[in-house]
Amino acid sequence: MDKKKAKVIFKHNSFEIIEEGDYVLCGISGKKILLKDLNYWNVDFQEAYFSAKEADIRYKQIKK
């Protein structure tokens, strides 16, 4: 069965599912992140990150 991309709003310490789905895409790598595994995101940019590595990449880009 195909998995469906979810639409979410990222908040501080939580996220709200706007449209049901199974995953979101990483804002850096484009990898699929299952909602159950989603731990890293940026509220200001409204994007998810696959891991702390991708979150750190974005943080360093912002600080330039």
| Residue at 52 is within a domain | yes
DSSP state string for 41-61: EETTTTEEESSHHHHHHHHHH
What pLDDT does 1 receive?
56
pTM of the predicted model as reported, rounded to 2 decimal places: 0.90
| Residue at 53 is within a domain | yes
What pLDDT does 27 receive?
97
**Taking Cα atoms as reference points, which of 32, 33, 40 lies closest to residue 15?**
40
Provide the domain limits for residue 24. Answer: 7-63
Per-residue pLDDT of the chain (64 residues; tens, 9 = 90+): 579 999 999 999 999 999 999 999 999 999 999 999 999 999 999 999 999 999 999 999 999 8
| Residue at 1 is within a domain | no
What six digits make up the tokens of 26? 């990483």
Residue 21 burial (C-beta neighbours within 10 Å; 0-12, 13-18, 19+) = middle
How many domains does the chain fold into?
1
